[in-house]
Chain A
Amino acid sequence: MNPQVTYKPSEEVDFVIVGSGAAGGVLAKELSTAGFKVVVLEQGRWVPPSEFGHDEIAQSQEHTLTNNSQQQPQTFRKTPQDKAEKQLSAIYGRCVGGGTVHFTANFWRFHEIDFIERSRRGPVAGTAFADWPLTYADLEPYYTKLEWEVGVSGLAGASPFDPYRSKPYPLPPLPVKSSGVIFERAAWKVGLHPFPSPMAILSQPYRGRAGCIHCGRCLGFGCEVGAKSSTLASVIPVAQQTGRCEIRTHSYAFRVETDRHDRAKGVAYFDGRGRQHFQKGRAVILSANGAETPRLLLLSSSRRYPQGLANSSGLVGKHLMINGYSGVLAAFEQPLNDYSSAAVSRVLHDFYEIDPKLGFYGGGGLDARFGRTPINFALGAVPPEVPRWGKAYKNWLAETFSHSMFVTCHATSLPVENNSFSLDPDLKDAWGLPALRMTYRDHPDDLKTVKYLQDRALELLAASPATHVWPQPVQEQTRAVHLLGTCRMGNDPKTSVVNADHRTHDVPNLFLCDGSSFVTSGRGQPTMTIEALAFRAADRIADAARRGEI
């Protein structure tokens, strides 16, 4: 953390960026190093690494790194016909670095197919399945740049399903864990192709940052030593060192203002004491995540834009995708101690594209992982046939926690128009703003996909020395941590919100860059692609700015 420049809100900076997470952190670094003046409005606080700690209560009950329902309640419903009930459904990072601070750090590139799947597969009924307006080849240089800028550990060429890459990983894979060895050996046996998981965690010291010390608190926790390649640990310090970028914390954006020429003038926000300010900017970039970016556009409605800013398509907030998920808990005779080191050490992509002849669309990846910290495990991982409390429960915990692992299945979600974020008509947040309302029901193909993948996970585990396996029930999801597709990109202003350069079709100096830009969902690890898109967007936006075309 470094001293940084500060701007007055009345000073018109080149870019006002809302959000300092996966996309906002990258954009801040790229645009400030390119010579532009940047203010980043971050609603959360700057959590110093000394506070990251290993306290599960701080993480799960006090929400030190994520949004909480006390300040920002949400509502949820399955379909537009249902009444939405109060429930925190969309979980996201709410601190400098956003979700990259607490994420598991799986860092899979999307494959070629992810960008062109609609034209390869044809339409899927009940969905807005579409190709992206860019291809893997357009993004490849930015995936590579990202890997080398933030530090990613992996083994190039280890997966026969991997897409083309122009450079190897900057760091070798993290050490394998017992879960990885079990997974790998069983996978080879059944003819699959396991490989060392690509992780945004430093396996060795890199660019002045420390390597992983294998404390095992990645999932849900910040990394005390900065080995996890969050934007907080990697690119944000570089942005600050330029002397042109201010990360302004406790700044909760609630409105993008425009002039009568349909140009953005800046962003109105509340500071930590609830006072309103207006930060002027020549251009505005929303990287507030796939929930808050569309919410902010909807909150910015006016007489001129009755259905929200940049929403002539009517698609702002729609086509939410959250990635399908299923898992199997497996127990073994000997201890795995899977709570140590990074969550995942082996993965496989053999089912990235499930055979269309099976009659449904989908695909995904399987990994071997530590899925739950002690309290989370004891409250949430207990199979239905195990007593919920008492001596048998205690015995099960004692026998299972250190002797088990999860095989998890990460999968596609289809873009369904009804699945969305919108403004709740009744509930307000602590600032008096309409609360976020999530509407979501998995497409039937998404549920078939995760069931199919879970069956493959069970086959794999049958070839392992597992003594017990417990498939977790496959059911409709009501909670999301991947917030994708809600301001989708495309060439046609009628069917998309932003173009391939993340510029909104309606407001020429307003850009949206985060999970909301996705057209399809990928296979469950979106953060890397959000960051790669941000590197590319920064190039395109900086070029346009230099040409006077913003």
Chain B
Amino acid sequence: MNPNSGHESNRREFLVTGLRGAGGVWASLHWPAVMVAAQHAAHMREAIPPAKLEVLTADQAAEIEAAANRIIPTDDTPGAREAGVIYFIDRALGTFATDSRGDYEKGLPVLQAKTRELFPDSKKFSQATPEQQDAVLKALEGQPIFELIFSHTVMGFLADPARGGNRGGVGWKLIGFDDNATFAPPFGYYDRDYPGWQPPKEK
């Protein structure tokens, strides 16, 4: 460890040091795949935070979640709701995105005002029909509140599940992303049966 970093040795470094200390050539050169895979699996099991709100009020969460559900809707595949995007956003506002709390406080009334302007029967965005909600969001594209909910929804759908969203990896499954710790060729369809780099004969 670097003496300045102030971090304690973690388990993996301890194990690696142990393996290297044992002097095994195989261990020192092949440990990474084994260790990373083990670490990765442990991370996936342990790291999922509970689905509860810490920062947002239930009312705020209902409005944001309703918008998120239109941005990535549920159909025959999971959407923002099943991914638990709202829990990602709540957790973000308590961690890396504390600066955005005020933006939601300022922006959610804008969302509600636009809803009432277009659909006077609905007091809240979350009370409008899905079609009405789409019309409200369309009208707010480019406005700070729309852009904020949009970017946080996408993050919450596709971030590491340890961040509170992307529950069960549903976002990753949808886009065909495998969160494996390691891969081996062939990686895709087009590199199967690749014969090796061989330039054509110049005419």
Contact = CB atoms under 8 A, between A and B. Distances in A.
B22 to A, nearest CB: 14
B4 A57 contact: no
Interface stretch (A245-253, A297-305, A484-492): A245-253
A388 B141 contact: yes
Judged by DSSP, the binding face of B is loop
Contacts of A62: 96
A168 interface: no
Contact of A45 (B5, B71, B160): B5
Contacts of A50: 10, 12-13, 39
A214 interface: yes
B183 A394 contact: no
B10 to A, nearest CB: 5
B129 interface: no
B199 interface: yes
Nearest to A184: B197
Nearest to A334: B189
Given A389-B70, A398-B174, A337 B187 contact: yes
Interface string A183-225: 0100010000101100000000100101101111000000011
Interface size class of B (residues with CB under 8 A): 35 or more
Interface stretch (A254-262, A288-296, A338-346): A338-346
Nearest to B166: A374
A155 B28 contact: no
Nearest to B179: A54
Contacts of B92: 57, 61
B31 A210 contact: yes
A25 to B, nearest CB: 14
Nearest to A211: B29
Contacts of A215: 36, 180-183
Contacts of B172: 374
B191 A213 contact: no
Nearest to B172: A374
Contact of A389 (B5, B30, B137, B199): B137
Contact of A224 (B36, B134, B200): B36
A176 interface: yes
B182 A4 contact: no
Chain B CB within 10 Å — which of A208, A215, A216, A401 has the most? A215
B5 A213 contact: no
Contacts of A403: 176
A181 interface: yes
A107 B32 CA distance: 23
Contacts of B79: 394
A460 interface: no
Contacts of B174: 394, 397-398
Given A184-B197, A336-B190, A340-B183, A250 B29 contact: no
Interface in B68-111: 70-73, 75, 77, 79, 92, 96-97
A177 B191 contact: yes
Contacts of B12: 50
A4 B159 CA distance: 37
Given A50-B10, A335-B189, A374-B158, A401 B199 contact: no
Contacts of A195: 197
B113 interface: no
Nearest to A210: B32
A61 B197 contact: no
A185 to B, nearest CB: 9
Contacts of B31: 210
A375 B5 contact: no
A48 interface: yes
A335 B175 contact: no
A404 to B, nearest CB: 10
A339 B79 CA distance: 22
A402 interface: yes
A1 interface: yes
B190 A178 contact: yes
Interface of B: 1-5, 7, 10, 12-13, 28-33, 36, 39, 70-73, 75, 77, 79, 92, 96-97, 134, 137, 141, 150-151, 154-155, 157-160, 162-163, 171-172, 174-191, 194, 197, 199-200
11 contacts: A48-B5, A178-B189, A211-B29, A213-B181, A214-B185, A215-B182, A249-B4, A332-B190, A334-B190, A336-B188, A378-B175
Given A51-B7, A213-B181, A398-B77, 15 more contacts: A46-B5, A48-B13, A55-B159, A55-B163, A57-B92, A57-B96, A57-B155, A57-B159, A175-B185, A177-B188, A178-B189, A196-B197, A335-B188, A340-B183, A388-B141
